A and B are shown apart, each in its own frame.
Chain A
Amino acid sequence: MSHPHTPDYVIPKPPLASRILASTPVSIIIYLLVIGFIVYTAYDGSRAMGYNWQWYRMPQYLWTITDEGFQWGEIALGLVKTLQLSLLAFSLALGLGLLVALLRLSGLLVGSAVALVFLEIVRNTPLLVLLYLFYYVMGPIFDLDRYAASILCLGVYHAALISEILRAAINSVGLGQWEGASSIGMSKAQAYRYIVLPQSVRFMLPPMTGEMVNMVKSSAIVSVIAVAELTTMGRNIISDSYMSFEVWFTIAAVYLVVTLTLSFGVSLVERHYSLK
């Protein structure tokens, strides 16, 4: 059946100028121009100050192949330590954060008071000060080495942030789900485990990715107490080689690769938990 009013009317296109500006090739050109400008000014500035670029000396800090065979370099070893540190601290933060979130949601006056005091103290202390507290104060008292103190410090600091993410995610699951769970006789613990927490994963994944990335980045701060992670390795290499530009560019790139990989990995998990 043909439409009774055959339209003569054509929807007008946006003006030519905005169509050209919005097109993909033009966007790419603009992007490349900006990047090129930044790189050029950096290169030009460093040449003006007489900086001697020695990129050819960098690979040995990633890995070396000698007569004795293949060997990881200092940056690679530092990266492993950073990942180890972040993973342990993140697990600690997740456990502690869940505990604090559940305490706050418990409805018990004591529970939420304890949780709130913990939150306020941790959130309102600079991370660097918290690290000094753990290493120079708690360290001697509880006999913590620098590695343990770093994990505890990062874990506690991020537990506060994660607990808020978890609390918000748990609260986003509707009251009806609790009622549905109770109506078939589930206990509060069962309702959390089988009904509410699985549904809140969808709400917590995006901010949790941010926290994981933050954890990797803020782990750099433990270089001030000389834990042999990525940033510390960078400082050590510079004190041997004086190649500060190349080393910091490389270290920054390594962090970038790690955090981008993390974000990409989580986006795959997110797809799994999206609404069916």
Chain B
Amino acid sequence: MGLSDESRWLLLEYMAYQPVFENEVMTDGNPIIQVEALDKFYGSFQALDNINMTVHSGERVVICGPSGSGKSTLIRCFNALEHHSAGKLVVDGIEVHEGSKQIRKLRQEVGMVFQQFNLFPHLTVLENLTIGPMRVRKVPRQEAEANAHRYLERVHIPEQADKYPSQLSGGQQQRVAIARSLCMETRLMLFDEPTSALDPEMINEVLDVMVSLADTGMTMVCVTHEMGFARKVADTMIFMDGGQIIETAPPEKFFTQPESERCKAFLEQILEH
């Protein structure tokens, strides 16, 4: 998970002294993602096995689990970067399946932040942010640029607008990637291990931005191993293993009394040595 032993200890200590507080659930009750009996096969390998879950509008869900547990595959299904093999998936009122004509419409409503940022290296930061709104949403340049500057301010790097991605640090690049998704004015943001490719000292600047994003009431689904972050913002914790959802619980229960042995073992492994 990219943390040194020392920072693991700090995190553990930090968590031990943090009061477990009830996160204020800001959902308005409308389901934005509905998953029923979802399966995904790569050839004969089953990556996702009978997934059932619902994400409500305004809810913050954190998915964790060992590598190869299918968590990334699941989150990539949500905006059709992967196609599920069986079951039903409805995102923002759009039924997602392979070959659907509405996939582009769906992706305009769902932001995605990748582990490797996937910024466009041949465009400046500003162009990275405006190309989606201008080319996809047909927003006039002036408005798109004004928006882009506003969101760069929000991720605390307004001064980098004219640089190229390769001139920025990893943490700054990931914050640009978050701003790029925000520029599309989405209602739902997916994070696929957003801090796993970052040097330890840059993780916090990205997590801070994500926390402030959560405070605005954005619906978020995050695949991450950052348990301090999860504890701070999650309404719901999901633990996956072997392509299945093993445990779903609010964070205070998830961290203190996990039900399954596998979840207990996983938490012990990433929080303690």
Contacts and interface: CB of A to CB of B under 8 A. Distances in A.
A38 to B, nearest CB: 46
Contact of A185 (B116, B121, B132, B167): B132
A194 interface: yes
B273 interface: no
Interface stretch (B104-112, B146-154, B231-239, B260-268): B104-112
| 8 nearest CB pairs, A to B | A180-B118, A184-B132, A185-B108, A183-B112, A276-B164, A176-B118, A185-B136, A185-B107
Given A184-B136, A194-B131, A276-B167, A199 B122 contact: yes
Contact of B135 (A182, A183, A186): A186
A237 interface: no
Nearest to A183: B112
Given A185-B107, A187-B104, A276-B122, 13 more contacts: A176-B116, A180-B114, A180-B118, A183-B118, A184-B131, A184-B132, A184-B136, A184-B180, A185-B105, A194-B131, A199-B120, A276-B121, A276-B167
A179 B75 CA distance: 13
Interface in B88-139: 104-105, 107-108, 111-112, 114, 116, 118-122, 131-132, 135-137
B184 A184 contact: yes
Interface residues of A, number: 18
Nearest to B110: A183
A180 B181 contact: no
Interface in A243-265: none
Contacts of B167: 276
A276 B127 CA distance: 14
A275 B107 contact: no
B30 interface: no
A172 B164 CA distance: 20
A203 B184 CA distance: 30
B25 interface: no
Contacts of A176: 114, 116, 118
Contacts of A184: 107-108, 131-132, 136, 180-181, 184
A155 B211 CA distance: 58
A186 B136 contact: yes
A109 to B, nearest CB: 16
A177 interface: yes
B119 A180 contact: yes
A110 B107 CA distance: 29
14 contacts: A176-B116, A176-B118, A177-B120, A183-B79, A183-B81, A183-B118, A184-B132, A184-B181, A185-B105, A185-B108, A185-B184, A190-B135, A194-B131, A275-B121
B166 interface: yes
A181 B108 CA distance: 11
Nearest to B104: A185
A99 interface: no
